């Protein structure tokens, strides 16, 4: 009998933990960086069920997400996932990854335009051509203004122009903004002049910045090296922080600390507590990095795989609590399914959350009764 009640107590503790975890999630992030699991050539293992699940979770955290590329059908998987989750309120910046190879660009451009033709423009907020293409082109020790950097910028802007021409030929119902994402140190006035928006990666961890100074440093770096630079361009592009966050672990003990502060869950919590609400208040556009850990990055070692709010198995990291400063959606909608939508997967909504909570309570009650009954039967 004692063992029965002990099992019951353990189960109820787990249920309480799940409910406490759910209550710690708030739609407080301006935006979130996202890559579907398995959306990598040549395997292309991303599946619709997982992406739909992710769309439901993302809609609870933010009204905006950005993608990095279009290989492995990820554009359609995301747009279909939004639909299956109940047409949840997510605005998506699609991605076209480039490496200077025209074949790679054409393949992804075709994937993006095919998805737009199939799903329309409702959830599309922009198309980001390139991710750190300039940084990867000029490499360590180079700069955006040296010959390699200038050549890479020319290639990138040509791809943006070609994308623009392709979209115009499609005669869509509205214009889709085009931009790029790169290292915060790679932004130049010339780059800004060729884009509707510019996204800049600003990572205090890689800047060797003390944790307690990281939020302020992130904002100041973005202002000094990105916002103020693009303000000199005639078109005044919209500015976003493409990535910012804090790692929670490292595969290599010697790389757990990068400068004065360690990679830890508490570090991520501190960065969220000091950055998120403050950035929302001062109208900084940012995409938090990121929804979940990325196991494929283990090949790079160090902290690379461990930036998510969720771990590899989509378990919310213990102890994390999202700051409570909800943002306004650009659509004015709430997180859940669109009014009148009959989709079966509405777990991203408040109703879906209530339904899930009710199911959890029901499961707890059922098992509790079963365990108690077993205990009583054992006595008899």
Residues recognised as catalytic: 132, 243
CB 187 within 8 A of CB 200: yes
Give the C-alpha separation, 172 to 169, whole Å.
Answer: 8
Q: Residue 90: name the closest of 335, 344, 343 by CA.
A: 335
DSSP state, 224? I
Peptide bond connecting 234 to the previous residue in cis, omega within 30 degrees of 0:
no
- What the block records as the tokens of 293 is 């850990």
Residues 380 and 376: their CA atoms lie apart, in Å, by: 6
Q: Are 77 and 65 in contact (CB under 8 A)?
A: no
> What b/e sequence results for 74-94 when a residue is b if at least 16 CB atoms lie within 10 Å of its CB, and e otherwise?
bbbbbbbbbbbbbbbbbbbbb
- Within 10 angstroms of residue 207's Cβ, the number of other Cβ atoms is 16
Among all chains, which residue has been given the structure tokens 């063992």?
A: 3
**What CA–CA distance (Å, rounded) separates 219 from 326?**
20
Burial class of 340 by CB neighbour count within 10 A (0 to 12, 13 to 18, 19+): exposed
* Contact (Cβ atoms closer than 8 angstroms) between residue 99 and residue 133: yes
Query: Which two structure tokens, joined as six digits, stand for 117?
Result: 């033709």
């Amino acid at each position: 009998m004692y063992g029965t009640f002990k099992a019951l107590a353990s189960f109820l503790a787990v249920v309480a933990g799940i409910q406490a975890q759910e209550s710690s999630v708030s739609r407080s992030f301006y935006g979130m960086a996202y890559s579907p699991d398995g959306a990598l050539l040549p395997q292309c293992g991303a599946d619709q069920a997982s992406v739909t699940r992710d769309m439901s979770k993302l809609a609870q955290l933010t009204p905006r997400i950005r993608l990095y590329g279009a290989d492995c059908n990820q554009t359609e998987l995301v747009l279909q996932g939004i639909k299956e989750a109940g047409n949840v309120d997510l605005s998506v910046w699609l991605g076209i990854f480039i490496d200077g190879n025209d074949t790679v660009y054409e393949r992804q451009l075709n994937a993006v335009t095919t998805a737009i033709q199939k799903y329309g423009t409702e959830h599309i907020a922009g198309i980001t051509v390139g991710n750190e293409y300039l940084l990867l082109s000029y490499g360590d020790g180079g700069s955006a203004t040296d010959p390699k950097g200038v050549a890479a910028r020319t290639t990138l802007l040509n791809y943006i122009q070609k994308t623009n021409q392709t979209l115009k030929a499609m005669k869509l119902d509205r214009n889709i903004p085009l931009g790029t994402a790169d290292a915060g140190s790679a932004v130049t006035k010339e780059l800004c002049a060729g884009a509707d928006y510019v996204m800049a990666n600003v990572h205090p961890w890689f800047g060797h910045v003390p944790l307690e100074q990281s939020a302020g440093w992130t904002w100041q770096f973005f202002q000094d090296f990105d916002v103020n630079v693009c303000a000199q361009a005639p078109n005044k592009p919209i500015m976003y922080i493409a990535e910012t966050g804090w790692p929670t672990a490292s595969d290599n003990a010697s790389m757990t600390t990068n400068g004065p502060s360690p990679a830890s869950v508490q570090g991520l919590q501190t960065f969220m507590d000091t950055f998120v609400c403050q950035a929302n208040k001062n109208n900084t556009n940012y995409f938090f990095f990121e929804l979940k850990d990325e196991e494929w990055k283990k090949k790079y070692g160090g902290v690379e795989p461990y930036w998510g709010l969720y771990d590899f198995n989509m378990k919310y990291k213990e102890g994390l609590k999202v700051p409570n400063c909800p943002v306004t959606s650009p659509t004015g909608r709430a997180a859940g399914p669109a009014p009148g939508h009959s989709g079966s997967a509405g777990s991203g909504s408040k109703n879906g959350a209530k339904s899930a909570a009710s199911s959890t309570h029901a499961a707890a009650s059922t098992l509790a009764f079963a365990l108690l009954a077993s205990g009583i039967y054992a006595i008899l």
